[in-house]
């Protein structure tokens, strides 16, 4: 079995940049997303060995199927980057219920299933790393994008707890909490206004995430403004944070 870095959501945005930076470090890659053509184009520009898996990770059984396909190619996941995810702007009563459920299936269930499935092998081999992409949205409730914020609060809580469980064990696990970042995210989420205007390029976000994972950090929040915003949500009353987030969403 040869070690591989599995990157979910690798056809765009942060995932494609994770692929670029991990390939530049000489890692063998397994890329997962629904759009195969995008990943084939990315593969053509990357050095080294790249395996492509096209699937909808939100479907029941998809995480297990993916890992079985990886194993069938004599590969074993040494680094897992749980990056696939999407958001949806608007109020809960107006949202397509299937998209809300699909968001929970992808952002929460698939991430949890993949993490649970790779951990025993990593512990048995005495080597492994997991980077779960949360968000600064994880630190406070998100009026007008409620389900997305709640999924990211789950990712942060789950990852921090696992980080503690892995103390003294040979597996590193880190939550990456980006602020607004330039990608297809806001188009998919149908969010306009202040947040997409604040978005920063993917490169620095990905570099910070990989560096934090290598150093065994529990949480990485790239960028000073994002750190202040995340810490601010601990200091301010929750009612004030709810109002601030609602105001940002509608401006
Ligand atoms: N951009 C931001 O401002 C921001 C801020 C904080 C956190 N994040 C988080 O960063 C992560 C990456 O997002 P991004 O900004 O890079 O957005 P993006 O450009 O929209 O990329 C999302 C990726 O997820 C994949 N994906 C979506 N649904 C999928 C499904 N059902 N099955 C498999 N793959 C699926 C997409 O590929 P296909 O469409 O080809 O399947 C794409 O590769 C997400 O978890 C997001 O919540 C983003």
Full 3-state SS string of 215-241? CCCCEECCCHHHHHHHHHHHHCCHHHH
Compute the distance between CA of residue 149 and CA of residue 141 in angstroms, rounded to an integer: 6
Q: Tokens standing for 149?
A: 């914020």
pLDDT at residue number 248: 83
Substitution site in 7, 8, 12, 17 for ligand 1 pocket (most atoms within 8 Å of beta carbon): 12
Please count the CA atoms within 13 angstroms of the CA of 193 that sit on its side-chain side.
Answer: 11
Q: Tokens standing for 10?
A: 């690798």
pLDDT at residue number 137: 96
pLDDT at residue number 91: 96
12 alpha carbon to ligand 1 midpoint, in Å? 7
H or E, element range at 133 = strand 128-133
Range of the domain at 91: 2-249
pLDDT at residue number 206: 98
pLDDT at residue number 240: 87
Contact present, 137 and 148 (Cβ < 8 Å): yes
pLDDT at residue number 82: 99
Active-site residue, selected from the candidate residues 18, 139, 148, 186: 148
How far is C-alpha 190 from the geometric centre of its chain's CA atoms?
Answer: 19
Number of compact structural domains in the chain: 1
CATH code for the domain of 201: 3.40.50.720
pLDDT at residue number 66: 98
148 is catalytic: yes
Q: Which atom of ligand 1 is nearest to the CA of 176?
A: 7
- In the DSSP assignment, the letter for residue 73 is T
Beta bridge partners of 129: 79, 172
Substitution site in 33, 69, 208 for ligand 1 pocket (most atoms within 8 Å of beta carbon): 33
Show the ligand 1 pocket: residues with CB < 6 angstroms: 9-15, 33-35, 38, 56-58, 83-87, 106, 133, 135, 178, 180-181, 183-185, 188, 199
Given a cut of 70, the residues of the chain with pLDDT beneath it are none
């Amino acid at each position: 079995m040869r070690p591989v870095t599995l990157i979910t959501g690798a056809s765009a945005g942060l995932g494609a940049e994770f692929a670029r930076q991990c390939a530049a470090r000489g890692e063998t890659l397994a890329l997962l997303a629904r759009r195969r053509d995008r990943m084939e184009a990315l593969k053509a520009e990357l050095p080294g060995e790249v395996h492509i898996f096209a699937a909808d990770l939100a479907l029941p059984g998809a995480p297990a199927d993916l890992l079985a396909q990886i194993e069938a190619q004599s590969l074993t996941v040494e680094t897992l980057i749980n990056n696939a995810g999407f958001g949806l702007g608007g109020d809960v009563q107006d949202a397509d219920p299937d998209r809300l459920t699909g968001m929970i299936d992808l952002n929460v269930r698939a991430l949890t299933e993949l993490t649970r499935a790779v951990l025993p092998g990593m512990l048995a081999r005495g080597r492994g790393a997991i980077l779960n992409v949360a968000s600064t949205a994880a630190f406070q409730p998100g009026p007008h994008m409620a389900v997305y914020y709640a999924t990211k609060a789950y990712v942060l809580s789950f990852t921090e707890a696992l980080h503690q469980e892995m103390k003294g064990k040979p597996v590193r696990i880190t939550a990456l909490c980006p602020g607004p970042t330039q990608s297809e995210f806001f188009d998919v989420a149908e969010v306009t206004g202040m947040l997409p205007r604040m978005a920063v390029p993917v490169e620095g976000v990905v570099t910070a995430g990989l560096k934090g994972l290598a150093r065994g950090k529990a949480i990485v929040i790239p960028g000073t403004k994002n750190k202040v915003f995340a810490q601010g949500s601990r200091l301010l009353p929750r009612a004030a944070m709810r109002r601030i987030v609602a105001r940002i969403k509608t401006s």
